[in-house]
Structure 1
Amino acid sequence: MPVTPLLDSDLPHLERCLALAEEALLTGDQPFGSILVDASGREVFADHNRIAGGDETQHPEFAIARWAAAHLAPAERSRATVYTSGEHCAMCAAAHGWVGLGRIVYASSTEQLTGWLQGLGLAAGRVAPLPIESVVPGALVSGPAPELAERVRALHERYYNAR
């Protein structure tokens, strides 16, 4: 399924994700933040990256999938939207697909992040930088948000320049 355009109603939720990404950065973590919004538009779960403790699977999108599986019926999950500061990695996209969550909206793409990190002279990660649709065919995806790109890039530069 092709990437769909962002809606005006998506931007406030993406702003919340950037605030969570900033929170992650302030705690020494990579700057990623995500929220789960139910069909009525209400935020029901929020988290940020928590990999600084050594567990590289502690991504907020993965936490959302686990929380949704435990707290929402399958029909509720399919109508919910995941908002995130950065496009899901392959692990998080798979969790999203297995749990049956609905739309994914991201502020910055994997392609953008890969380019920013290369620009900082960083080596490729241990997991292939796949777009969500390669992992979850048929996923309803919207992003990136061009108006937020510079802010997201700046968060990542702050993180890697501090290391």
Structure 2
Amino acid sequence: MSITEQDLVHLRRCVELAREGIEAGDEPFGSVLVDADGEVRFEDRNRVAGGDETRHPEFEIARWAAEHLTPDERAAATVYTSGEHCPMCSAAHGWVGLGRIVYVASSAMLTGWLTEWGVAPGPVAPLPVQDVVRDAVVDGPAPELVEEIKELQRRRFG
């Protein structure tokens, strides 16, 4: 599947949420959960500045979906995100049975940028979603929005 104009609408919201994160002194990541009918059901941004490094928006989406959606609704939903899921978020996504993932920038892109800026790697290996979740349906990157995400990441880490 390829990224559609409707996908880009939701990805732009993810970029806005990432911008809100950086402006709040947090890391610039944002994510949106959209159901099969195209309705936004949940959205969030990174909230790790308080010291809990698990407060990623993709992980919060998985928690919310497990509590509020049926297994069929979760499987039919799409998670949009500014950056490809980390392994923790990928695992949460897989365990609760969420559907398609669409991201702006890949983990490989982020890793390359951090290396370019001299930022030490984090404690978790940056694995592609498909290396964590069997049969994951993943689309990305979204070239139209990559530079915006790179600039937000540079503001935080560069």
- Per the normalisation by structure 1, the TM-score is 0.95
Report whether the alignment pairs 1:152 with 2:149.
Answer: yes
Q: Any idea what the Cα deviations from partners look like across 1:55-114, whole Å, max 9, x if unmatched?
A: 000000000000000000000000000000000000000000000000000000000000
2:25 aligned residue: 28
Q: Which segments of 5 or more consecutive residues in structure 2 lack a partner in the other structure?
A: none
1:137 aligned residue: 134
2:68 aligned residue: 71
Amino acid paired to 1:52: A
2:90 aligned residue: 93
Partner Cα distance (1:11, 1:62) in 2? 21
Find the residue that maps to 2:5 and give its secondary structure.
Answer: coil
Aligned length: 158
Partner Cα distance (1:154, 1:59) in 2? 19
Q: Which segments of 5 or more consecutive residues in structure 1 lack a partner in the other structure?
A: none
Find the residue that maps to 1:39 and give its secondary structure.
Answer: coil
2:100 aligned residue: 103
**TM superposition outliers: structure 1 runs of 4+ over 4 Å:** none
Query: What percentage of residue pairs aligned between the two structures are identical?
Result: 61
2:4 aligned residue: 7
> How far off is 1:9 after superposition?
1.4
Instruction: Pick one of 37, 42, 48 that aligns with 1:40.
Output: 37
- Per the normalisation by structure 2, the TM-score is 0.98
